[in-house]
Chains A and B, each alone.
Chain A
Amino acid sequence: NAGVTQTPKFQVLKTGQSMTLQCAQDMNHEYMSWYRQDPGMGLRLIHYSVGAGITDQGEVPNGYNVSRSTTEDFPLRLLSAAPSQTSVYFCASKGQGYGYTFGSGTRLTVV
């Protein structure tokens, strides 16, 4: 089925560990983005990309790294996990339509 696939769905990390959240879409969307969702704060933009080879920072980029080597994939890297990065992470893509297509989210806990 066409859509945005995020892996893993759940993850527990120890402080200082690194990991990569995977995001892939098969709709040939140029735009992709990563958001984090925290209680009382809605979804906040971490990084986004308007096409392969192009990335930019959003509202809360510190502690995260991204790259976009292909149109399909947009991984999010946590360089050295901190408890403040405990959150639910969403990947989203957008084509020519008005709205986003969201992945199913990753619940990350940093202990």
Chain B
Amino acid sequence: AQTVTQSQPEMSVQEAETVTLSCTYDTSESDYYLFWYKQPPSRQMILVIRQEAYKQQNATENRFSVNFQKAAKSFSLKISDSQLGDAAMYFCAYRSANYGQNFVFGPGTRLSVLP
């Protein structure tokens, strides 16, 4: 079974600085998708960014980018120019490309942004 690990339960960053959230995963599959979801205090789950495993190029979405290392099974999220609105819980998630539609989520990292 696949597992997703986020080793940083809590992190903080100064406003306008850059922060990197770590995620590692374990799978025997070669084709899959990886995601980062943001959960602000409103409890809403918001998709931040996704990465297809067959793509070598790292995904970017405005101030959010990932460092995808397939061989190391690592998928970190970098947030540049951090804003107060980035404060939230961040979940890393895995989904197989060929076997079902279920997600496997990591335990989450709570990010605080300091003014």
Contacts and interface: CB of A to CB of B under 8 A. Distances in A.
Interface stretch (B14-22, B63-71, B80-88, B101-109): B101-109
Interface in A59-105: 88, 90, 92, 94, 98-100, 102, 104-105
Interface string B70-104: 00000000000000000000010001000001111
A48 B104 CA distance: 13
Given A50-B101, A99-B35, A99-B50, A43 B91 contact: yes
Nearest to B108: A42
Interface string A11-49: 000000000000000000001010100001111110010
A88 B43 contact: yes
B50 A102 contact: no
A102 B44 contact: yes
A35 to B, nearest CB: 8
A42 B101 contact: no
Interface size class of A (residues with CB under 8 A): 20 to 34
Overall SS of chain A's interface? strand
Nearest to A41: B107
A41 to B, nearest CB: 6
B102 A105 contact: no
Question: Which of A35, A58, A99 gathers most chain B CB within 10 Å?
Answer: A99
Nearest to A107: B43
Given A99-B47, A104-B44, A31 B105 contact: no
Interface of A: 31, 33, 35, 40-45, 48, 50, 58, 88, 90, 92, 94, 98-100, 102, 104-105, 107
Interface of B: 4, 6, 9, 33, 35, 43-45, 47, 50, 91, 95, 101-108
Given A33-B101, A100-B47, 13 more contacts: A40-B9, A40-B107, A42-B4, A43-B105, A45-B102, A48-B102, A50-B101, A88-B43, A92-B45, A99-B50, A104-B44, A105-B43, A107-B43
